[in-house]
Amino acid sequence: MEFLHSNYPPAKTTCRSFADAFYDMLPGTSSLDIAVGYITADSLIEIKKLVEFNDLRTLNLTIGMHYLEHFTKTEYNAAVDLNDYLREQSRGQVRLVTPFRYHGKLYSYSNAVGPYAAIIGSNNLSSITGGGSRIYESSILLDDRRLATEMHSFIKQLVDSSTENIADLIIDQFNEQNALLEGHENVKKVDAYTLVNCLNSRTSVTFEIPIKGYEVSPQSNLNVFFGKGRVSKNGLVKPRHWYEVEIIVPKNVATQAGYPVAKTPDAEFDVITDDGWSFRCKVSGDYNKNFRSEGDLKILGKWLKGRLENAGVLNVGEPVTQETLRRYGRSSFSLTKTKIPGLWFLDFGVIK
């Protein structure tokens, strides 16, 4: 038995985190059975890529809360896509608990001999992505075959008695709010007064930063997800995160007078966005070409790709193409300096 903790300061321990244990055990696992309360769209595409990249022959996912509490459209589309992929490949399925809300978090690992390990605790599936919310989770890794078999048997009982395949259910009610940045570390939602003050403080120093589509940028910019995965020491290939982005700014924009300069005190700065979020950004690289959110590349990605998803022009797992941007109504975002020291305004809005 092993305790697993998030290890956020100041409550750091010598224990592994849930994500560490989850990934460390996958190379020795042929079948993974999961029963959790909540999922996120990015965790579903992450686990789909894990199946694609590695020798995980079977994945069965049971989702416990969303049938009665509803998905967002993005979450639902990602769940359907994962189910279609698993069934087409004869590698498992996605099922929903229908008669009640199931809030457990169970992860059952099997090899050729049978169930050999399990995790139980507070970690929903979003914990595999490092999504950016500082919620401290704790779980227990069970390496006792008897207990692992007992958990596996319970998941099977739950599936057999209380679930249906997601493809067999009529789901037409969705949660409308898809607030990807809510509760994200180092991101704040600003009030109306602060946003108006920022708007009124804009200067004439402004730059239009183009977003390159998949046609010219298939594995970078907003399509980092489609690049090579990261290979762990144990041989596991982990995909790049769906929301991980770093914008490569053209030299003719990044070298203009007034643009932030890398390796200077002005290279890092705060931004307020047109839809009321505040976070920190950074420029780096030769000719100031790299534009990113500071500390976590997923913040800028959630802001940009989340806007495309909410507009209904991008599904999780699809490349951002020029057609995606055309349908959204904009293929660039603007960076405008304000009169407030160290503060810039980011705008990715479109006129409806």
Q: Which domain holds residue 318?
A: 188-347
| Residue after which a domain boundary falls, among 145, 175, 205 | 175
Q: Is residue 183 part of a domain?
A: no
Same structural domain for residues 107 and 237?
A: no
Same structural domain for residues 143 and 248?
A: no
Whether 232 has a pLDDT exceeding 90, the answer reads no
Q: Is residue 310 part of a domain?
A: yes
**Residue positions counted in the chain:** 352
Q: What CA–CA distance (Å, rounded) separates 103 from 38? A: 8
How many CA atoms, within 13 angstroms, populate the side-chain half-sphere of residue 284?
Answer: 8
Q: What is the pLDDT of residues 74-116, one digit of tens each?
A: 899 999 999 999 999 999 999 999 999 999 999 999 999 999 9
Whole-structure pTM value: 0.83
Same structural domain for residues 340 and 205?
A: yes
Of 94, 93, 90, 25, the C-alpha closest to 57 is 90
Mean pLDDT of 216-237: 89
| Residue after which a domain boundary falls, among 175, 199, 220 | 175
Q: What is the pLDDT of residues 3-23, one digit of tens each?
A: 999 998 999 999 999 999 999
Same structural domain for residues 14 and 78?
A: yes
Q: What is the pLDDT of residues 319-345, one digit of tens each?
A: 999 999 999 999 999 999 999 999 999
| Residue after which a domain boundary falls, among 124, 145, 175 | 175
Same structural domain for residues 30 and 65?
A: yes
Q: Is residue 341 part of a domain?
A: yes
Average pLDDT, the chain: 94
Total structural domains within the chain:
2
Higher pLDDT, 59 or 227: 59
Q: What is the CATH number of the domain that holds 250?
A: 2.40.330.10
